[in-house]
Amino acid sequence: MYDVKAIEEIVLKTIKDMGTAPEDGQIKVGVSQRHVHLSRQDLDTLFGKGYELTKKKDLMGREFASNEFVTLVGPSLKAIEKVRVLGPVRKDTQVEISRTDTFVLKVSPPVRPSGVVEGSEKLVLVGPKGSVYLKQGVIIANRHIHLTPQYAEKHNIKDGEYVDVLVEGEDLKDTKFFDVQVRVRDDFNVEMHIDTDDANAAGLKNGAKVTILKKS
């Protein structure tokens, strides 16, 4: 008979040995639901000329969750309704969905950092006042970590660096996320953002703790 507990401990030790965890390297997780960022032009088309988003809740930095929703329609003509719009308006419209959502919409978006929309997937957005055929802008957001400059300096982590992240603990599915992008800005909170697919795969919920592993 195999000693399952002993095997688990060996596996976890091996994973940890592949990277170095900074002291107090645990950070919170934020699970990102599907959402939309709109340009001024597309906001006008979907909600009416001069419409302003209404704030539901402040998020990180200048961003906020609005009370407004749109519907996503893909080539399958199947729709995902009540997709929240995040403010403020951006230069380019961007739709962030999970891989599971792509099976419904029948689209194949790339995995990208937020804001990198060139050559990404197409989709139709439907609002209360109109619709927009989005020629590009649909992505699956990459796993990323937001850090304050103070935290980054303390742990010798640089903006744009890629780290690994260890998930372990009671009620979690022990795993390791590789090549997680770090973003450092003075209006950020210390938090890792993943989509619902990654969260479900590892048993993670908002506020769960994970450990940064700097690459050796």
Handedness of CA 154, 172, 29, 138 (dihedral sign): positive
**192 and 125 in a common domain:** no
HSE-CB at 28 with a 13 A cutoff on CA atoms is 9
Q: Which two tokens stand for residue 91?
A: 């230069």
In a domain, 10, yes or no: no
Question: Which of 95, 113, 141 is a domain's end point?
Answer: 141
Give me the pLDDT at residue 216, please: 67
**113 and 66 in a common domain:** yes
Within the chain, where are the H helices?
4-17, 40-47, 99-105, 149-154, 196-202
What number is the average pLDDT over the span 29-52? 98
**78 and 175 in a common domain:** no
| CB-count burial class (<10 Å; 0-12, 13-18, 19+) for 174 | middle
**What does residue 184 show for φ and ψ, rounded to 5 degrees?**
-120, 130
Give me the pLDDT at residue 98, please: 98
In a domain, 4, yes or no: no
pLDDT band at 205 (very low <50, low <70, confident <90, very high): very high
Question: Which of 115, 141, 167 is a domain's end point?
Answer: 141
Give me the pLDDT at residue 153, please: 95
To the nearest whole percent, how much of the chain has pLDDT over 90? 84
Give me the pLDDT at residue 174, please: 93
Give me the pLDDT at residue 41, please: 98
pLDDT in tens, 64-102: 999 999 999 999 899 999 999 999 999 999 999 999 999
Residue 206 DSSP one-character state: T
Q: How many domains does the chain have?
A: 2
Give me the pLDDT at residue 215, please: 78
What number is the average pLDDT over the span 174-182? 96
Q: Which two tokens stand for residue 183?
A: 């973003």
Q: What domain range is 114 assigned to?
A: 33-141
pLDDT in tens, 112-134: 999 999 999 999 999 999 999 99
Give me the pLDDT at residue 6, please: 53
pLDDT exceeds cutoff 60 at 9: no
**193 and 116 in a common domain:** no
Q: Alpha carbon of 87 to those of 53, 63, 80, 105, 117: distances in Å?
A: 7, 5, 20, 24, 18
Give me the pLDDT at residue 20, please: 47
Q: What is the pTM of this model?
A: 0.85
Q: Work out the mean pLDDT of the chain and round it to a whole number.
A: 91
Query: Which of 4-8, 74-78, 197-201 has the least mean pLDDT?
Result: 4-8
d(CA 149, CA 14): 30
Question: Which of 80, 107, 141 is a domain's end point?
Answer: 141
pLDDT exceeds cutoff 60 at 16: no
Give me the pLDDT at residue 11, please: 45
